[in-house]
Chain A
Amino acid sequence: MNYFEVFGLPRRLGIDVAELQRQFYELSRRYHPDFHAGAPPDEQASALDASARLNAAYRTLRDPVARIEYLVRLEEGRETKEGAAVKAQAPPELLEEMFEIQEALAEAKAGGLDEGTRATLRAQRERLRERLREADAKLAGPLSAAWDAADDSGRPKLRELLKQGLATRAYLKTVIEDLGQALGEEEGTGEHVAHHRH
């Protein structure tokens, strides 16, 4: 059973998150091990599995980007494993800017950062964050809508576009985090320090 099926949803990217939450709560009442504590062991075990799958499905589908990554993997028939679906890749239009940042980062690693460079790196990080927001908005908005509207003949092309978008955001995220590390101002927000690098 894939994550869409867990919720009885069609394989579409447009999802009403409030409705998803309501369904998640309702299904939790059905599957959560707490409500099967007095049941025979095999029933307990299957409740545990169902509950773990439900939690994974909810976690994946409630987040627009994770939802796209999952759908791409599903479409490509790859293992339903969490984590990045695509390799991080620099967007071509940013290559020059990225080159400069990488140079500054290498410098930072070799020696200290002076205040001027720090300010530049901070400004660059802010610009990249803005780009990341744009990339996410594009993925969750027009690209997702286009996928849902497309027929079988249009989907392969859209799948490539989605993958490109994912590759760009993965790249942006890594550079933003590297900048944070070089500046000694790691992202203390939600993002996991240990997550992204492998």
Chain B
Amino acid sequence: MSRIIGIDLGTTNSLVAYVDEETGLPRVIPDAEGRMLLPSVVAFTPAGILVGEAAKRQLARRPQSTVYSVKRFMGRGYEDVKDELRYFPFAIRPADGIVRLAVGGHEVTPPEVSAVILRSLKERAEGHFGEPLEKAVITVPAYFNDSQRQATRDAGRIAGLDVVRIVNEPTAASLAYGLHRLREGVVAVYDLGGGTFDISILRVKDGIFEVLATNGDTHLGGDDFDRVLMLWLLEDIQARHHRELACRPVDLGHDSEVMQELRLAAEAAKIRLSAEERTRLVIPFEDFTYHREITRAELERLVNSLVEKTLGPCRMALADAGLRPDQIDEVVLVGGSTRIPLVRRRVQELFGQTPHSQLNPDEVVALGAAVQAHILAGGITNMLLLDVTPLSLGIETLGGVVSVLIARNTTIPTSAREMFTTSVDGQTVVDMHVVQGERELAKDCRSLARFELRGVDPMPAGMPKIEVTFLIDANGILNVTAKELRTGKAASIEVKPTYGLSETDVGRMVEESFQYAEADVEARMLIEVRNEADTVMTHVRRALKQAGDLVSAEERQRVTAALEALARARETSEPDLIRETTTELNRATEHLAEVMMDTALRQALGSQRAAEIMAGGVERGEHPPAQGNQ
């Protein structure tokens, strides 16, 4: 079998990995600059599409056309996500079925956005191997329902990939550990990522990885932590700077550029607080600079209830596996959010043992996907993953009650058969409504699809005997087939996915994907240098307004001249010229930046040493002009 790559399509970052034939070990493939993580951010610009770092860098400047955390929208409907839409800068139109994003002048669906990320990873791998690649294993949260899995598979197809397997993230992680050092016994994998939470409990024995139970929340992760901190910062800024803010034309909370900067600053501060007890935020605005020290304890108070929310699913999974916490031999942490000390403490309290994360929690899922890919390619024969379906599958019966056909935590593949007949004489079409979930009424469960059995021979009511087989394959995806038992002929089925793309949609998108292809290298470079120029210019204008009177008139003039030169260069189509002029502007503002930083820090800190603070405070979007081109 040809080479198969493993892809972790994450909420915040995505990675691609493969198993090295020589060592037999999985490796993440870095990009040209040596970076392992591809930020899951896609920007739709007039000149083309940007993905990854390049897209993320311009998030705060073009929030309306830059999509991040799209995984939260995969396989979902407008009703599911409308409550959190106000936190996202891009527009989502109310419509039936699948979520549609309006960005950069056209409408895209979440699978199309994910496809851009997948295509970029595919190209990265192709560059690495120097040959075209088609087959991939893609990971999804274990608690993803059928629609979310289908959406992921559709994304792969749109990206030109043959998705040979959808594999669950925590189980993929266990495979990566299995290759390295997992002992035999019962393992709990606690996976808290950027947008989703999973808990899986597995028995590892004789190379078999048997999942006993899984549970989770597909809408709980680092994004939510960032959001509570961001809202807290917003409130604090509004309280402490209400006088400066009074003259702003737009309310701070409705200024999507500011909100994006706050979000990125909150994320950076959260990350720093995993290693440090306290950290300082410095966020420059047009006419003031916001300073704030925040301690780990303060962050913990803010996110505590979110961390608590992960414990219920853990207890459910334990109960479903028929195990007590003390019967777990090992607890493994996966996902970037498990770096948060509070998360580690809570997990430790629940399981009564120290959890570990010896493999990099950002990379372990991709490594596991590569291992699963290698198993499918025939490269590994002594390991086998037996996974489960996370949610009960049923059909709606009379009175809207669900009849369960396949219970949650059933080992997959699995199938169930059900007999259907007609209720009216001469009826030729039979409807079925398939749902997923644990509630008794169909309306409280997740609607997956409506199936229409067509071509039933007209007979008196109750006479036709149609046997319908519901098969959940090893991807956790439902396949439905039907047979008329009297005639033995297969009945034709039309599937209407409730929150998914139809076959025709996907086919069209595969074609269109070439049209929307990522901007070519030259165009991309131009976009990037222009973006960079814009960022630097914004910062310099802001700095001049805020601190212009702290330097000499002569210096001010020099800076203004350099600024105007860049504004002119930016309009040309010459990347080199724009880049050089940007560097010149940066050079011209070095002194201004120092003065500004010094003053700001002195004001804020009194006696503390400025250098110490600068080391912690100047990451990401909140940097002063001199750092603009880092």
Spell out A's residues near B (CB within 8 Å): 25, 28-29, 32-35, 37-38, 48-49, 51-52, 55-56, 58-59, 81-82, 188-190, 192-195, 197-198
Beyond A29-B384, A193-B438, is A52–B471 a contact (Cβ under 8 Å)? yes
Chain B neighbourhood of A81, CB < 8 A: 416-417
A38 nearest CB neighbor, chain B only: B1
The CA of A152 and the CA of B411, in the complex, are separated in Å by 35
Query: Judging by beta carbons under 8 Å apart, are B417 and A35 in contact?
Result: no
CB within 8 A of B378: which of A25, A38, A195, A198?
A38
CB within 8 A of A55: which of B208, B413, B439?
B413
Beyond A33-B473, A33-B474, is A192–B411 a contact (Cβ under 8 Å)? no
B441 nearest CB neighbor, chain A only: A194
Chain B residues touching A, range: 35 or more
Smallest CB–CB gap between A70 and chain B, Å?
A: 14
B415 nearest CB neighbor, chain A only: A52
CB within 8 A of B414: which of A28, A56, A188, A198?
A56
Q: Which residue, of A35, A38, A49, A190, has the highest number of chain B Cβ atoms within 10 A?
A: A190
Q: Give 26 pairs: A residue, B residue, CB < 8 Å, sorted on A.
A: A25-B206, A28-B208, A28-B384, A32-B384, A33-B473, A34-B375, A34-B385, A35-B375, A35-B381, A37-B377, A37-B378, A38-B378, A48-B474, A49-B415, A51-B474, A52-B471, A55-B386, A56-B414, A81-B417, A82-B416, A189-B320, A190-B319, A192-B392, A192-B408, A192-B438, A195-B392
Smallest CB–CB gap between B313 and chain A, Å?
A: 11
Chain B neighbourhood of A195, CB < 8 A: 392, 404, 407
Query: Judging by beta carbons under 8 Å apart, are A25 and B413 in contact?
Result: no
Spell out B's residues near A (CB within 8 Å): 1, 164-165, 205-206, 208, 210, 315-316, 319-320, 322, 372, 375-378, 381, 384-386, 392, 394, 397, 401-404, 407-408, 410-417, 437-440, 471, 473-474
Q: Which residue, of B401, B407, B408, has the highest number of chain A Cβ atoms within 10 A?
A: B407
Chain B neighbourhood of A82, CB < 8 A: 416
CB within 8 A of A192: which of B376, B377, B404?
B404
Query: Judging by beta carbons under 8 Å apart, are A55 and B410 in contact?
Result: yes
Beyond A28-B386, A49-B415, 5 additional pairs, beta carbon < 8 A: A51-B474, A192-B404, A194-B392, A194-B440, A198-B397
A189 nearest CB neighbor, chain B only: B319
A32 nearest CB neighbor, chain B only: B384
CB within 8 A of B411: which of A37, A49, A59, A190?
A59
Query: Judging by beta carbons under 8 Å apart, are B411 and A58 in contact?
Result: yes
Query: Judging by beta carbons under 8 Å apart, are A193 and B413 in contact?
Result: no
Chain A neighbourhood of B384, CB < 8 A: 28-29, 32, 34-35
Chain A neighbourhood of B408, CB < 8 A: 192
CB within 8 A of B413: which of A52, A59, A192?
A52
The CA of A9 and the CA of B354, in the complex, are separated in Å by 43
B206 nearest CB neighbor, chain A only: A25
Smallest CB–CB gap between B418 and chain A, Å?
A: 8
Query: Judging by beta carbons under 8 Å apart, are A59 and B410 in contact?
Result: yes
The CA of A198 and the CA of B394, in the complex, are separated in Å by 12
Q: Which residue, of B210, B316, B411, B416, has the highest number of chain A Cβ atoms within 10 A?
A: B411
Query: Judging by beta carbons under 8 Å apart, are A48 and B473 in contact?
Result: yes
